Structures are given as structure tokens and as C-alpha cells.
């Protein structure tokens, strides 16, 4: 129910995807986001409903913990610094959908201008993810995991350099 989750949920909803539920440790923010989307919410892992795709929008140090709890169906995370290795025990379809954008809940963005990079070890799943995210952004591309790491490092360097110059 954080910054990335808010923007992605709204973009998916506006692209006519059905969001069945928001899961977050924070019940207040999950309820607030769910009311915007018009879906159910929970902060209890046992109460997560069936789903076609889970999108994990959590901090990098939380990805492994969340992924291990969502082994039922396909799942992706949105981190540029965590690779596919976080899914090593996951037997289902997995991947990364990395938006090259800093998100803030309170700042409007034109999500169609945001580049989304898709990474997965499954060719069909990659193509399915691309179809989904092309409905959100025309700048969606399938890339390799190594290229994603280079893009993420360049983005971090550019951000840190800009901050230092300021």
C-alpha cells in the first residue's frame, strides 16, 4: 500500500484490470488504497484471496520474506536491485517488473511515460507481463536480468550524483 503500489494499482484499475485485494502489513493504508481501487484488503497472509498475479511492491529487504509467503500463483516484484534469485524456492511463474521512476503517493505522474522493464526466466510469462504493462505504459520492454542490474545501477548513480551536486 506504499508509493509504488498506489500508482500501479490505480494504473491497473484504470486499464480495466480487476484488482481483487490489497495485502499490506499496515491495515490503515491498505484500507485507504483498497477504497480508491474498490477492492478488498487485508493485513493477514491467511486471508489472501485467490489471484492470477501477485505484484509485490515492498522494500528490497522485505522481498524474500513476502515472496516466500506467496507461493500459490504467479508473482513479480518491482525492485531493480533484487534479482530473480529471490524466487529460488518458488515453483510457479515469477519475474520482475521494474518501473524506472521514483514514486510518491502524493505526486501525480503520467504513468504512460514511465519505462517498465520486464524480466523472467519463462518466455511465455515474460510476454504475458509485457501485454499487461503495455496497457499501462507504451514504454514497456523485456530485458535480461543483467541489463536490468546495469540500468538500476545507472539510475542509482544518477540520483546520488544529482543529490550531491545539489
Strand partners, 141: 117
Which residues are CB-neighbours of 73 under 8 A, at least 6 positions away? Answer: 50, 51, 52, 53, 54, 92, 93
What is the structure's pLDDT at 88? 82
Confidence of residue 66 (pLDDT cuts 50, 70, 90): confident
Is the confidence at residue 49, as pLDDT, over 80? yes
Q: What is the mean pLDDT of residues 147-153?
A: 87
Q: Which of 4-13, 34-43, 59-68, 108-117 has the lowest mean pLDDT?
A: 59-68
Is the confidence at residue 160, as pLDDT, over 80? no
CB distance 74 to 54 below 8 Å: yes
d(CA 71, CA 51): 11
Which residues are CB-neighbours of 42 under 8 A, at least 6 positions away? Answer: 21, 22, 23, 27, 30, 48
Kindly report, residue by residue over 1-25, the tens digit of the pLDDT: 889 999 999 999 999 999 999 999 8
**Averaged confidence pLDDT in the chain:** 88
d(CA 77, CA 67): 8
Report the DSSP pairing between strands 94-99 and 75-77. parallel
Q: What is the mean pLDDT of residues 59-88?
A: 85
**Residue written as grid cell 484471496:** 49
Q: What is the mean pLDDT of residues 100-118?
A: 89
CB distance 8 to 78 below 8 Å: yes
What is the structure's pLDDT at 72? 67
Q: What is the mean pLDDT of residues 145-150?
A: 89
Amino acid at each position: 500500500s506504499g508509493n509504488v503500489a498506489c500508482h500501479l494499482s490505480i494504473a491497473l484499475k484504470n486499464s480495466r484490470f480487476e484488482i481483487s485485494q490489497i495485502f499490506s502489513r499496515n491495515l490503515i493504508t491498505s484500507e485507504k488504497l483498497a477504497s480508491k481501487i474498490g477492492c478488498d484488503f487485508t493485513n493477514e497472509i491467511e486471508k489472501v484471496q485467490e489471484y492470477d498475479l501477485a505484484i509485490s511492491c515492498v522494500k528490497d529487504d522485505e522481498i524474500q520474506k513476502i515472496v516466500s509467503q506467496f507461493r500459490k500463483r504467479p508473482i513479480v516484484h518491482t525492485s531493480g536491485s533484487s534479482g530473480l534469485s529471490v524466487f529460488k524456492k518458488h515453483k510457479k511463474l515469477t519475474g520482475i517488473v521494474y518501473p524506472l521512476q521514483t514514486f510518491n503517493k502524493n505526486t501525480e505522474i503520467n504513468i504512460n511515460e514511465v519505462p517498465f522493464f520486464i524480466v523472467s526466466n519463462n518466455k511465455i510469462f515474460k510476454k504475458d507481463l509485457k501485454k499487461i504493462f503495455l496497457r499501462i505504459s507504451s514504454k514497456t520492454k523485456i530485458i535480461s536480468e543483467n541489463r536490468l542490474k546495469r540500468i538500476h545501477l545507472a539510475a542509482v548513480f544518477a540520483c546520488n550524483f544529482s543529490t550531491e551536486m545539489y
